[in-house]
């Protein structure tokens, strides 16, 4: 009798067995256990949303978390309201921005706000009490040279070994992408705003 699978179910089972063996080998090789640096960039929607999803996971595991938002600041968001409500003593949430640069129209003011935000972020990155730090829209501050890239890279490299850091925003510099453990680039395919739909609570706000 032939051992070759003959039914769709048997063929599927054989494929899944091969896949499981491959995945198991990869898992067995992943032996490092340390904090990771994640960078979410690109022109598409979802960079901050992904960061806040990871924040929810970290809080769910009981990690002390810090959030610094570099650009947003002039309007309330659902994530801020939610995480302030549920984060409790495990969450240090700092909204440090002055709003979008086309609204402020004042570079000196934007730079000053970013420098204050970076000082707070650097404090968190140096503190082993924080298991997870989200630096939301830091990439924009870097791209506009509001914050020195070398300072950011040094602080990220020197952070406590078990601390995870997530940096979001479009235009991530190449040196930050190189330093990161995980990089995701969001690609814009279609956006409701292009069709004249204003920002919606629960989606953009």
User: Same structural domain for residues 93 and 178?
Assistant: yes
For Cα atoms 60, 63, 64, give the angle at the middle one, nearest 5 degrees. Answer: 125
Closest Cα to residue 52, out of 112, 116, 136?
136
pLDDT exceeding 70 applies to what percent of the chain? 91
- What is the per-residue pLDDT for 72? 66
| Number of structural domains found in the chain | 2
Average pLDDT, the chain: 90
User: Same structural domain for residues 9 and 107?
Assistant: no
CA–CA distance, 201 with 70 (Å, rounded to integer): 21
Domain that holds residue 191: 32-195
CATH number of the domain where residue 43 is located: 3.40.50.300
- What is the per-residue pLDDT for 194? 82
Please give the backbone phi and psi of residue 51, each rounded to the nearest 5 degrees, phi first: -60, -40
Confidence check: pLDDT of 76 > 80: no
Confidence check: pLDDT of 6 > 90: no
User: Same structural domain for residues 61 and 79?
Assistant: yes
User: Same structural domain for residues 5 and 74?
Assistant: no
User: Same structural domain for residues 143 and 102?
Assistant: yes
Token pair of 54, please?
């990871």
User: Same structural domain for residues 60 and 109?
Assistant: yes
Residue 138 lies in a domain: yes
User: Same structural domain for residues 50 and 12?
Assistant: no
User: Same structural domain for residues 89 and 175?
Assistant: yes
For range 94-115, the mean pLDDT: 76
User: Same structural domain for residues 14 and 74?
Assistant: no
- What is the per-residue pLDDT for 77? 84
Confidence check: pLDDT of 168 > 60: yes
User: Same structural domain for residues 84 and 1?
Assistant: no
Q: Please, which residues bridge with residue 136 across strands?
A: 69
Contacts of residue 189, Cβ cutoff 8 Å, sequence gap at least 6:
44
Please give the backbone phi and psi of residue 36, each rounded to the nearest 5 degrees, phi first: -120, 155
User: Same structural domain for residues 23 and 75?
Assistant: no
CA–CA distance, 83 with 65 (Å, rounded to integer): 11
Confidence check: pLDDT of 36 > 90: yes
Sort strands 182-186 and 37-42 into parallel, antiparallel or unpaired: parallel
User: Same structural domain for residues 116 and 185?
Assistant: yes
CA–CA distance, 154 with 122 (Å, rounded to integer): 10
Helices (H), 43-173: 47-60, 78-87, 101-104, 107-125, 138-143, 149-157
Q: Please, which residues bridge with residue 186 across strands?
A: 42
């Amino acid at each position: 009798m032939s051992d070759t699978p003959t039914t769709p179910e048997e063929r599927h089972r054989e494929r899944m067995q091969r896949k499981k063996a491959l995945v198991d080998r990869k898992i067995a090789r992943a032996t490092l256990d340390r904090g990771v640096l994640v960078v979410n960039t690109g022109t598409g929607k979802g960079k901050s949303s992904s960061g806040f999803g990871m924040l929810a996971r970290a809080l769910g595991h009981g990690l002390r978390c810090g959030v610094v938002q570099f650009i947003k600041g002039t309007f309330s968001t659902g994530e801020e309201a939610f995480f302030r409500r549920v984060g409790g003593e495990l969450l240090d949430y700092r909204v440090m921005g002055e709003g979008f640069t086309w609204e402020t129209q004042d570079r000196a003011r934007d730079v000053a706000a970013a420098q204050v935000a970076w000082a707070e972020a650097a404090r968190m990155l140096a503190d082993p009490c924080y298991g997870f730090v989200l630096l939301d829209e830091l990439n924009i501050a870097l791209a506009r040279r509001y914050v020195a890239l070398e300072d950011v890279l040094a602080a990220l490299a020197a952070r406590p070994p078990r601390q995870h850091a997530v940096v979001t925003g479009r235009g991530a510099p190449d040196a930050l992408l190189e330093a990161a453990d995980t990089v995701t680039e969001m690609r814009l395919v279609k956006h409701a705003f292009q069709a004249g739909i204003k920002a919606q609570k629960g989606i953009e706000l």
